[in-house]
Copies of this chain bind each other. A is one copy, B any other.
Amino acid sequence: MIKRNQGDLQDQKVTGYQSVLGVTQTQTVRLPGIRTQSGHEFAHVDIAYQTLGKLSPARDNAILVCHALSGNAHLAGLHPETGRPGWWDYHVGPGKAIDTDKFFVICSNVLGGCNGTTGPASPNPSTGKTYGMSFPSVTIRDMVAVQARLLEHLGIEKLFAVTGGSMGGMQALVWAVERPDQVRVCVPIATCTSHTAMQIAFNEIGRCAILTDPNWNTGNYTDTCRPEHGLAVARMVGHVTYLSEFSMTHKFGRNRQSATEEMFSVESYLHHQGQSFVKRFDPNSYLYITKALDDFDLFAGQPAAEVLSKVHARFLVVSFESDWLYPPAQSRELVRQLKRTSVPVTYINLETEYGHDSFLINNPPFSNLVRHYLDNEYHRE
Which residues of A come within 8 Å of B, CB atoms? 194-198, 200-202, 204-205, 208-209, 212-214, 229-230, 232-233, 236-237, 240, 243, 245, 248-249, 251-254, 264-267, 270-271, 274, 294, 297, 324, 327
Q: Hey, which chain B residues are within 8 Å of A254, CB to CB?
A: 194-197, 200, 297
In contact, B205 and A240 (Cβ under 8 angstroms):
yes
In contact, A251 and B208 (Cβ under 8 angstroms):
no
Q: Hey, which chain B residues are within 8 Å of A214, CB to CB?
A: 214
Give the distance to chain B from A227, nearest Cβ to Cβ, in Å: 10
Among A202, A214, A240, A251, the one with the most B-chain Cβ atoms within 10 Å of its Cβ is A240
In contact, B196 and A249 (Cβ under 8 angstroms):
yes
In contact, B208 and A232 (Cβ under 8 angstroms):
yes
In contact, B327 and A198 (Cβ under 8 angstroms):
no
In contact, A205 and B236 (Cβ under 8 angstroms):
yes
- Besides A205-B240, A212-B232, 10 other A-B contacts (C-beta < 8 A): A194-B254, A195-B254, A198-B240, A200-B266, A201-B266, A204-B236, A205-B233, A205-B236, A212-B233, A213-B229
Contact of A196 among B196, B208, B245, B265 (CB under 8 A): B245
In contact, B205 and A270 (Cβ under 8 angstroms):
yes
In contact, A248 and B197 (Cβ under 8 angstroms):
yes
In contact, B196 and A248 (Cβ under 8 angstroms):
yes
In contact, B267 and A198 (Cβ under 8 angstroms):
no
Which 6 residue pairs are nearest across A and B when measured between Cβ atoms?
Answer: A212-B229, A197-B248, A197-B252, A197-B266, A204-B267, A198-B248
Give the distance to chain B from A326, nearest Cβ to Cβ, in Å: 11
User: In the complex, which residue of chain B has the Cβ closest to the Cβ of A252?
Assistant: B197
Q: If A201-B270, A270-B205 touch, does A327 touch B245 (CB 8 Å cutoff)?
A: yes
Give the distance to chain B from A265, nearest Cβ to Cβ, in Å: 8
Among A204, A213, A214, the one with the most B-chain Cβ atoms within 10 Å of its Cβ is A204
Bound state CA distance, A251 and B198, in angstroms?
11
Q: If A197-B251, A233-B233, A252-B197 touch, does A266 touch B208 (CB 8 Å cutoff)?
A: no
In contact, B205 and A237 (Cβ under 8 angstroms):
yes
Bound state CA distance, A376 and B254, in angstroms?
38
Q: Hey, which chain B residues are within 8 Å of A233, CB to CB?
A: 205, 208-209, 212, 233
User: In the complex, which residue of chain B has the Cβ closest to the Cβ of A202?
Assistant: B240
Q: If A270-B204, A324-B324 touch, does A198 touch B245 (CB 8 Å cutoff)?
A: yes
Bound state CA distance, A237 and B212, in angstroms?
15
Give the distance to chain B from A225, nearest Cβ to Cβ, in Å: 12
Q: Hey, which chain B residues are within 8 Å of A271, CB to CB?
A: 208
Bound state CA distance, A251 and B264, in angstroms?
35
User: In the complex, which residue of chain B has the Cβ closest to the Cβ of A207?
Assistant: B267
User: In the complex, which residue of chain B has the Cβ closest to the Cβ of A228?
Assistant: B212
In contact, A240 and B201 (Cβ under 8 angstroms):
yes
User: In the complex, which residue of chain B has the Cβ closest to the Cβ of A204?
Assistant: B267
In contact, A243 and B198 (Cβ under 8 angstroms):
yes
Give the distance to chain B from A290, nearest Cβ to Cβ, in Å: 11
Sample (28) of A-B pairs whose CB atoms are under 8 Å apart:
A194-B254, A195-B254, A196-B248, A196-B249, A197-B245, A197-B248, A197-B249, A197-B251, A197-B253, A197-B254, A197-B264, A200-B254, A201-B266, A205-B233, A205-B237, A205-B270, A208-B229, A208-B233, A208-B236, A208-B270, A209-B233, A212-B213, A212-B229, A212-B230, A212-B232, A212-B233, A214-B214, A324-B324
